[in-house]
Amino acid sequence: MRTPFERPRRLRTTPALRRLVSETALRPSDLVLPLFVREGISDPVPVSSMPGVVQHTQDTLRRAAEEAVRAGVGGLMLFGVPERRDPHGSGATHPRGVLNRALEALRADLGDSTVIMADLCLDEFTDHGHCGVLDAAGRVDNDATLEVYAEMAVAQARAGAHVVAPSGMMDGQVRVIRDALDRARYQDVAILAYTAKYASACYGPFREAVASTLQGDRATYQQDPANATEALRELRLDLEEGADLVMVKPALPYLDVLHQVAAVADVPVAAYQVSGEYSMIEAAAEHGWLDRDRMVLETLTAIRRAGAQVVLTYYAQHAARLLTG
C-alpha cells in the first residue's frame, strides 16, 4: 500500500485556515508604547531619525496617551527630557521634574485603565549622559547610583507609576529598588528589570530623542553583545532580588537570548524593539524596499514567537490599528 505524501501546505491554503492554526498570537494588549516628554517646549519636536516619533509637551503627551489607550495598547513607557542637567541627575528625583509631572498627569487622566511605566535611569538627567553618578576617576559608581535609584523609584511611585523599569544595569538595582518601594509602602508598584540590556549600536536614534549628552559608551555596565550565558546569570540575580517582569533589549538582534530567558523565567518576559530597529524599518520602507506594515507585524510576531509576552515598540499604536482592522 502506497504511503500518501504529507502535505503541510493544505493548512496554508486560505487565510481562515492560516488563522486557525497560527501558533503565535499578537494582540494590541501585548504592546507597550514608549513616549518622550520634553521640558521647555510649546509644541512637539519631531525626532529626525525616528519618523513619526516626537518629543511631547505635557499637554500633547496626555492626548497621545489617551489615543494609544483607545487603540487598545497595553501600556505606556515614559521617558523624560529635562531642560537642565547636572552631574547627579537631580531632575530625576525632584517631584516637579519633567518625568514625575508627566506620570502624575497620566495617572490622573487614565487611572488604572492602562499600565503606566516609568524609565528608571539617570542618563536623561545627567550632564555627562551616563546611567549613574560618576566617581572621582570618571567611572560610574555602582553603589552611589543605587542610592539615587532608590529615591527615584519612590518619586515615580508617588507620581503614579504602576511599574518602574530600572534600565541602568547596575548590580543589585532590583533589590535596592524593591526595598525602597516597600519601605515607602508602595508594595504594589511592580519592577520591570532590564535584565539583559546589551551595549548595542541600535540605540543611536534614541539618543537623539532624549538629547543625550553621552561621550563614549556604556560598555562597562551594559552587556557584551558576544555573551548569552551572562544573560541567564543576570536573570537569576534579578529574580532572586524580586523582579516582577524581566526584559531583553534590543529585541531582534537578540532573539536567541530572548528565547533562552523565556525558557527559564517564571515571571513575564518583555522585549524592547528599540529605536534603531524602528528606524531601519522606516528607512527601508521610505525607499520602497519593503512593505512597512507587513514588516511591522512580522517583526513583532517574531519577538512574540521567541518568547516575549510584552513587547515595547514605537509601532505599538500603529500595530494595534493594523491588528484590529
Distance CA 71, CA 300 (A): 17
Residue 120 has φ and ψ, to the nearest 5°, of -110, 90
174 and 195 Cβ atoms separated by less than 8 Å: no
Measured CA to CA, the distance from residue 147 to residue 186 in angstroms comes to 17
Known catalytic residue at 249: yes
Closest by alpha carbon to 116, among 85, 147, 159? 159
Structure-block grid coordinates of residue 202:
541600535
Name 163's bridge partners: 117, 190
Cβ atoms of 109 and 200 within 8 Å: the answer is no
CA gyration radius, the chain: 20
* Residue 325: CB atoms within 10 Å: 4
Q: Distance between CA atoms of 296 and 282, rounded to whole angstroms? A: 10
What are the b/e assignments for 38-62, b being 16+ CB within 10 Å? bbebeebbebebbeebbbbbbebbb
178, 218, 249, 318: which is the annotated catalytic residue? 249
- CA 187/CA 315 separation, integer angstroms: 31
Degrees to nearest 5, angle at CA 269 with 263 and 273: 115
Is 284 a residue of the active site? no
User: Which one from 88, 197, 304, 318 is the annotated catalytic residue?
Assistant: 197
Residues with active-site annotation: 197, 249
